[in-house]
Amino acid sequence: MFSPREKLCGAIIELEIDRKNGERIFNEYYNSVEDGKPHKNYVTELAKQLNIKLTEKTSA
């Protein structure tokens, strides 16, 4: 089991190996961060720098 921050690091590494899977992992991490937390803004900016399209999790 990975810590949340390890998941972010893993997603960034995976982007170079398998872009689609890296983006999926990055989005899972993004959606695990509470709204309104300063870290969510950091992750949003990081996604822009890495050219990752963020997807909001939906409630089913």
The answer to whether position 11 is within a domain reads yes
3-state secondary structure of 39: helix
Beta-carbon contacts of 40 under 8 Å, excluding residues fewer than 6 positions away, are 30, 33, 34
**How does residue 59 score in pLDDT terms, banded at 50, 70 and 90?**
low
Examine residue 54 and state whether it is found in any structural domain, yes or no.
Answer: no
Mean pLDDT in residue range 4-26: 94
CA within 13 Å, CB half, 11:
21
Asked whether residue 59 is domain-assigned, the answer is no
Domain span at residue 44 reads 4-49
> Predicted confidence band at 23 (pLDDT cuts at 50, 70, 90)?
very high
In a domain, residue 18? The reply is yes
> Of 4-8, 10-14, 20-24, 37-41, which range is least confident?
4-8
Q: Whole-angstrom Cα distance, residue 21 to residue 15?
A: 7
Tell me the average pLDDT across 11-40: 95
Residue 57: predicted pLDDT: 78
Total domain count, the chain: 1
